[in-house]
Each structure stands twice: as C-alpha cells, then as structure tokens.
C-alpha cells in the first residue's frame, strides 16, 4: 500500500521534473532564436500592442486603488508619530519598490499570461503549429519568441504606469481627503526616493517578472496536451505557477537588492 | 513497386511505438514519383502518424526513410526545414492560421520562405486560389469559411511553394457530394499539371479507388495488401476483401485491443 503510494509519488515527480526540463530546453531554444526577431519585428510590435492593451485598463484601476489604500494606511501609521508630511515617501517607496512590480506581474499573469497560453494551446489543438512546421516556418521563432520578448518589454512599462497612478491615488487620499500638505507630499518624495536604489531596482524586478510570467505562459501553451481539456488545464497552471514564481522571485531579488547592511 | 529509380519515397522496415502501443512493425512502402498513392487502413492504424514521420515531426524508432534519394534518418533540424519547403501537407482539419485572412494564409509560406516582392506574391496567391476556385473568397477570415472551403484554401496554401510532393490527410471526410467531386478532380489535375507526387491517407474506399494509381492497406503495423485499384479488388486476401467491402469483423479487428469481453465482464476486482 505504502509502496504503491511511493510509486505514484515517484512517477508524479518524475513527470514534473521532465516538464521542468522541457521548459528549460524551450527557453534555451527561444534565446537562441532571438536574433530571428529582426526579420519579424512587426510581430514583436504587434505583441507589445496586444499585451499592453490587454492589461492597460486593469493596471490603471488597480494602481489607483492600491495607491489610495496606501494613502490611508500610511497616514494612520505616520500620524501616531506626527510624521504625516512623510506620507509621500512611504507611498512612493512601497509602490515603486514592491507593490508596483509585484501586483502588476500578478495581474499581468492572470490577464495576459492566461490569454497567451490559451492562444498558443489552441493553435496546437487546431494543428496550426504543426502546419507552420510543415511550411518550413519554425513556430518557436514565429509565435513564441515575439511573445516572450514583448512580455519582457511590456511589464516594466505597465509597472511604471501602475506606480505613477498609485502615487496619484495616494496623493488623492492624503491631500484631498486627509489634508496632508501637497507641497510636503511631493517634496519629501522627491528628496527621499533614489533613482538608482529605488526606481531602477523596481524596473529590474519587473523585467525579471516579465520574463518568468511570459516564459511560463508560452511554455504551458506550447506543451499543452492537444485537447480542449488540456488547454483549460494549461491556462490554470499558467496563472498558478506564474503567481508563485513571481512571489518567490520577489523574495530572492529583494534579498539581493536590499539585504545588505 | 521495388524499382527505386522511380520512387520518390522509400520506407524500409519502419518501426514506431507510442508507449506500449506498436504503430509500425517493420513496414515497407514505396511511393512512386508522379503518381497518386493512397494509404488506407482502419481508424487508429497510424495513417496520420505515417505522414508525421514523413514530415520529420516524429522520429522513427528504427528503419529507414529515403525521400528524393536522401536518407532523412539523420537529418538535422535545418535539413528538415529545407526539405519541408518542397513538401506540401494538407492537414485533417485544414489548419489555417486563424488570425489572418484567406489571402494572407496562402501568402504566408511565400512571404516566409522566399524573397519575392508583394506584386509577385499577389500574382502567385491569386493563381493558387484560382486553381482551387476560391479567388473570390480571398478577403474572408478562416472562421467565415465552411469546412470544405477551408480545406481548399489549405490546399492552395500547400501548393504555394510549388512542392515536389503533397500529402493529404483524409481529404474526403466531411465533404458534400459536389465538393467531393470537385476535390477528387482537383487532386488529380494538380498532380498531373504540376507534376507532383501525391500521397493520400484515407478510409473512404470509393473515392480512393477512383483516384489512386496505387494503394497500400495497413493494419496493425503491417502492409496487409497493396496494388493498383483493379488488382486490389481481385486480391484474394481476406483482409483486403474485408476492408474493401467494409465488413465489420474478420481478420482485421474493429475493436481497440482488449482482453476477452467475458473476462472484463466477470472480473470485479480489476477495475477499471
Ligand atoms: N500524441 C499521441 N500520443 C499517444 N498516442 C497517440 C498520439 N497520437 C496518436 N496516438 C495513437 O496512435 C495511433 C495511430 O494514430 P493516428 O492518428 O496515426 O491514426 P489514423 O490512422 O490517422 O486514424 P484516423 O483514421 O482516425 O485519423 C492511435 O491508436 C492513437 O491512439
Ligand atoms: Mg488520422
């Protein structure tokens, strides 16, 4: 009985490791195929447009709400120490360093990543990928590489928009609702937020998040079991794996960036 | 059909497995140049698999495949891509790219594989669409086509690069009698006017007997019968007769391999 359980466990972990291996092989192959993007630059532009438009409104709304919540939370904590005028710093730092990249990546995985997986998975089900191969067109270069690069390019842009809107949301709550001085909100932020330490690190984070979420999304689509059930399972997996990877990677990157002293 | 000078493709001792299942078990097939060869067999015998082996999308376990004099067994990815420019394939579902219209679908292999300018491409695409009778449908999207039309567009796309051979996976299924007749004529005339070699995979006996120059019947990984349509109808083999006359049981089993029915029915512990 226990032996049987162990065998099942062993088989499952082996299958999982094999998938992981295939994901790495696909990644290496995509990296090798990156130069081909110069011949198909329009595909990259097209995907930047699609992925960006897909998530744009979502990011705007989410960013504003998160900023407003940070405004309330920050104000109440700071008020205890009579430091309400530092609200701008607290809102800006927590959003630019953490919430902006992470929440944007999670929303991106749920909106654009799942759509990518479903699209590529359906292309596999309907034999479009196989027919490309037979027309001597490599589907990895034609379909996957433009999407991967577009994801890496788009996510930092979306995170920047999220951060900007979030800081405005914080200002709306802090200044218009709770009566913090507008000049203090902005000037303290300006003097305390560092281009290199804060903003650049946030951008680096979202580049990594863009890479990992889009990689997972295109791999899950490409590796789909070609049935309609297979596509729906792959879509779910994309969202779950992307979310977990983003959070784990965020821990690692944060430890590397801010873990010293 | 052993004269290798007139063969475009020769398959020797092909072995291929899917997990436990043996799909090909020492199969030998010769595809003569310039002719229409049909591969027939019951559903699930591996006809589609055979086309995928010929297109290099699956590697054989053992045996050799020669295409146009080249041993493709050790082909690199690059060599396969070069060879595929000279192969056309019509997929069972048509497999049109759903995000572009009919014109762009037919233009796709030309744009990707040649350096022709847009005027030349337009010229070629309209010519290919005219050949399948769908020049007027060039602005439609694949979702707006009927199944039969989609397959004809896919056919135009498959011949866009003027291949040396074309493989048809079940071209006749789901066609009404008129488009069936059109398609049969089309396959014949394309084969003869473009000097193609055609391979048709099918289980539609009547159409295949009418169109093919030579027929192979596969069952359980082996060739169980071969010959011209006339010879095949006279073939004394029970297998061949069963298949041609569509009898449900005989030497070829319609059922997927299983233990004896009574054993399954009376065994309670071994579920499922
Ligand atoms: N991806 C796969 N993984 C595992 N087994 C497969 C796969 N694809 C096909 N098979 C098995 O291979 C066998 C041959 O399949 P194939 O699609 O070549 O049959 P076919 O002759 O084309 O049938 P049909 O006439 O129904 O299209 C089937 O029994 C099927 O179970
Ligand atoms: Mg088939």
| Domain-wise residue ranges, chain A | 49-253
In this predicted structure, what is the pLDDT of residue B239?
Answer: 74
Is the minimum distance from the CB of B46 to ligand 1 under 6 angstroms?
yes
Say whether pLDDT at B175 is over 60. yes
Cis peptide before B272 (omega within 30 of 0): yes
In this predicted structure, what is the pLDDT of residue B257?
Answer: 65
Cα B169 to middle of ligand 2, angstroms: 7
In this predicted structure, what is the pLDDT of residue A147?
Answer: 95
> Which of the given ranges, A189-193, A251-255, B184-188, B244-248, has the highest pLDDT on average?
A251-255
In this predicted structure, what is the pLDDT of residue A261?
Answer: 59
Ligand nearest to the CA of B91: 2
Q: Which of B81, B91, B157 sits opposite A130 (nearest CB)?
A: B91
Beta strands B7-18; B62-67: pairing state = antiparallel
Higher-confidence residue: A100 or B237? A100
In this predicted structure, what is the pLDDT of residue A156?
Answer: 95
Q: Using CA atoms of B50, B54, B56, B58 in order, give the dihedral in degrees to the nearest 10.
A: 10
Cα B49 to middle of ligand 2, angstroms: 7
Atom 10 of ligand 1, nearest CA residue: B18
Which of B91, B166, B168 to mutate to test binding with chain A, by most A CBs within 10 Å of its CB?
B91
pLDDT band for position B250 (cuts 50, 70, 90):
low
Q: With an 8 Å Cβ cutoff, are A142 and B112 in contact? A: yes
Chain A environment of B55 (Cβ under 8 Å):
133-134
The interface predicted TM-score of the complex, written ipTM, equals 0.80
Chain B environment of A135 (Cβ under 8 Å):
84, 108-109, 112-113, 157, 161
Cα B129 to middle of ligand 2, angstroms: 26
Mean pLDDT along residues A7-28: 92
- CA nearest B89: which of B204, B197, B177? B197
Is the minimum distance from the CB of B49 to ligand 1 under 6 angstroms?
yes
In this predicted structure, what is the pLDDT of residue B247?
Answer: 65
Alpha carbon distance A194, A189 (integer Å): 9
Domain ranges, ordered by start, for chain B: 1-86+207-272
Chain A environment of B93 (Cβ under 8 Å):
126-127
C-alpha dist (Å) from residue B74 to A173, A177, B62, B65, B85: 68, 73, 12, 10, 18
Give A250's Cβ-side CA count (13 Å radius): 21
Residue A227 is given by DSSP the state S
Q: With an 8 Å Cβ cutoff, are B95 and A126 in contact? A: yes
Is the minimum distance from the CB of B18 to ligand 1 under 6 angstroms?
yes
In this predicted structure, what is the pLDDT of residue A128?
Answer: 93
Say whether pLDDT at A235 is over 90. yes
Residue A136, min C-alpha distance to chain B (Å): 5
Name the least confident of A50-64, A224-238, B159-173.
B159-173
Is the minimum distance from the CB of B20 to ligand 1 under 6 angstroms?
no
In this predicted structure, what is the pLDDT of residue A58?
Answer: 94
Nearest CA in chain A to B58: A130
Name the least confident of A215-229, A244-258, B160-174.
B160-174
Say whether pLDDT at A145 is over 90. yes
The partner residues of B18 in beta bridges, in order of sequence, read: B21
Residue A251, min C-alpha distance to chain B (Å): 39
B126-163 tens-digit pLDDT: 988 988 888 888 899 998 888 888 888 998 999 888 89
> Which of the given ranges, A121-130, B17-26, B89-98, has the highest pLDDT on average?
A121-130
In this predicted structure, what is the pLDDT of residue B183?
Answer: 83
Q: With an 8 Å Cβ cutoff, are A135 and B157 in contact? A: yes
The partner residues of B64 in beta bridges, in order of sequence, read: B12
In this predicted structure, what is the pLDDT of residue A169?
Answer: 94
Mean pLDDT of chain B: 84
> Which of the given ranges, A257-261, B92-96, B158-162, has the highest pLDDT on average?
B158-162
pLDDT band for position B269 (cuts 50, 70, 90):
low
C-alpha dist (Å) from residue A126 to A23, B18, B91: 22, 21, 10
- Give me the DSSP letters along chain B: ---GGGEEEEEEEEEEEETTEEEEEEEEEEEETTSEEEEE-STTSSHHHHHHHHTTSS--SEEEEEETTEEGGG--HHHHHHHHTTEEEE-TT----TTS-HHHHHHHHHHHH----HHHHHHHHHHHHHHTT-GGGTT--GGGS-HHHHHHHHHHHHTTT--SEEEEESTTTT--HHHHHHHHHHHHHHHHHTT-EEEEEE--HHHHHHH-SEEEEEETTEEEEEE-HHHHHH---HHHHHHHTT-SSSSS-SSPS-S-HHHHHH--SS--
How many A/B residue pairs have CB atoms within 8 Å? Answer: 53
Mean pLDDT along residues B58-71: 88
In this predicted structure, what is the pLDDT of residue B208?
Answer: 86
Say whether pLDDT at B1 is over 50. no
Mean pLDDT along residues A61-71: 95
Burial of B205 (0-12, 13-18, 19+ CB in 10 A): middle
Say whether pLDDT at B213 is over 70. yes
Alpha carbon distance B55, A135 (integer Å): 10
Residue B89, min C-alpha distance to chain A (Å): 7
CATH topology of domain B1-86+207-272: Rossmann fold (3.40.50)
Check: pTM over 0.90? Answer yes or no.
no
Q: With an 8 Å Cβ cutoff, are B109 and A133 in contact? A: no
The residues in B 206-265 lying below 8 A from A, measured between CB atoms, are: none
Say whether pLDDT at B181 is over 60. yes
The residues in B 73-102 lying below 8 A from A, measured between CB atoms, are: 81-82, 84-85, 87-89, 91-93, 95-98
Higher-confidence residue: B193 or A114? A114
Atom of ligand 1 nearest to the CA of B46: 18
Mean pLDDT along residues A28-57: 91
Say whether pLDDT at A77 is over 70. yes
B2-56 tens-digit pLDDT: 444 588 888 888 899 888 888 888 888 999 988 999 998 888 888 889 999 998 8
By percentage, how much of chain B surpasses pLDDT 90? 16
B225-238 tens-digit pLDDT: 888 888 887 777 77
Cα B156 to middle of ligand 1, angstroms: 26
pLDDT band for position A115 (cuts 50, 70, 90):
very high
| CA-only gyration radius of chain B, Å | 20
Higher-confidence residue: A27 or B7? A27
Residue A42, min C-alpha distance to chain B (Å): 13
By percentage, how much of chain A surpasses pLDDT 70? 100
Say whether pLDDT at B116 is over 80. yes
In this predicted structure, what is the pLDDT of residue B2?
Answer: 47
Atom 14 of ligand 1, nearest CA residue: B46
Residue B214 region, left (φ>0) first, then alpha (ψ -120 to 50), else beta? beta
In this predicted structure, what is the pLDDT of residue B271?
Answer: 56
Atom 18 of ligand 1, nearest CA residue: B46
Mean pLDDT of chain A: 92
pLDDT band for position B248 (cuts 50, 70, 90):
low
Q: Which of B52, B98, B112 sits opposite A128 (nearest CB)?
A: B98
Chain A environment of B161 (Cβ under 8 Å):
135-136
The residues in A 98-137 lying below 8 A from B, measured between CB atoms, are: 123, 126-128, 130-137
């Amino acid at each position: 009985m226990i032996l049987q359980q162990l065998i099942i466990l062993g088989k499952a972990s082996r299958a999982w490791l094999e998938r992981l291996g295939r994901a790495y092989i696909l990644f290496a192959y995509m990296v090798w195929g990156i130069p081909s993007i110069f011949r198909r630059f329009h595909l990259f532009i097209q995907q930047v447009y699609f992925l960006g438009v897909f998530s744009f409104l979502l990011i705007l709304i989410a960013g504003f709400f998160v900023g407003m919540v940070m405004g309330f939370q920050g104000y109440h904590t700071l008020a205890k120490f009579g430091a309400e005028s530092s609200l701008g710093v607290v809102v800006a730092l927590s959003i630019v360093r953490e919430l902006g990249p992470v929440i944007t990546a999670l929303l991106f995985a749920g909106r654009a990543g799942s759509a990518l997986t479903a699209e590529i998975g359906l292309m596999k089900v309907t034999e479009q990928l196989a027919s490309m191969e037979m027309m001597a067109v490599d589907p990895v270069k034609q379909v996957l590489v433009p999407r991967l690069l577009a994801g890496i390019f788009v996510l930092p842009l979306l995170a920047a928009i999220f951060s900007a809107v979030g800081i405005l949301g914080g200002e709306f709550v802090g200044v218009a609702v709770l009566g913090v001085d507008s000049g203090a909100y902005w000037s303290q932020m300006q003097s305390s937020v560092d281009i290199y330490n804060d903003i650049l690190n946030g951008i680096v984070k979202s580049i990594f998040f863009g890479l990992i979420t889009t990689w997972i999304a295109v791999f899950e689509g490409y590796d789909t079991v070609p049935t309609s059930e297979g596509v729906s399972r792959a879509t779910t997996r994309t969202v779950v794996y992307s979310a977990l990877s983003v959070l784990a990677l965020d821990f690692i990157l944060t430890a590397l960036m801010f873990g010293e002293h | 059909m052993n004269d290798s000078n007139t063969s475009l493709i020769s398959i020797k001792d092909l072995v291929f497995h899917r997990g436990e299942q043996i799909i090909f078990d020492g199969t030998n097939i010769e595809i003569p140049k310039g002719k229409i060869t049909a591969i027939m067999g019951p559903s699930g015998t591996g006809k589609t698999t055979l086309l995928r082996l010929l297109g290099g999308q699956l590697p054989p376990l053992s045996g050799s495949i020669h295409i146009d004099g080249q041993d493709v067994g050790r082909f690199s990815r690059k060599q396969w891509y070069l060879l595929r420019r000279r192969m056309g394939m019509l997929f069972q579902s048509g497999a049109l790219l759903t995000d572009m219209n009919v014109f762009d679908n037919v233009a796709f292999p030309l744009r990707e594989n040649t350096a022709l300018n847009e005027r030349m491409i337009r010229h070629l695409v309209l010519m290919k669409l005219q050949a399948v009778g769908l020049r007027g449908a060039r602005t439609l999207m694949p979702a707006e086509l009927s199944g039969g039309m989609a397959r004809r567009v896919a056919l135009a796309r498959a011949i866009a690069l003027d291949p040396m051979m074309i493989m048809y996976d079940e071209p006749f299924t789901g066609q009404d009698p008129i488009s069936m007749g059109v398609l049969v004529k089309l396959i014949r005339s394309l084969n003869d006017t473009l000097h193609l070699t055609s391979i048709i995979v099918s289980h539609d006996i009547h159409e295949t007997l009418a169109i093919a120059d030579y027929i192979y019947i596969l069952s359980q990984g082996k060739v169980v019968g071969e010959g011209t349509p006339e010879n095949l109808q006279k073939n004394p083999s029970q297998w061949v007769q069963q298949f041609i006359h569509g009898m449900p049981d005989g030497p070829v089993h319609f059922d997927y391999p299983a233990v004896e029915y009574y054993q399954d029915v009376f065994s309670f512990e071994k579920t499922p």
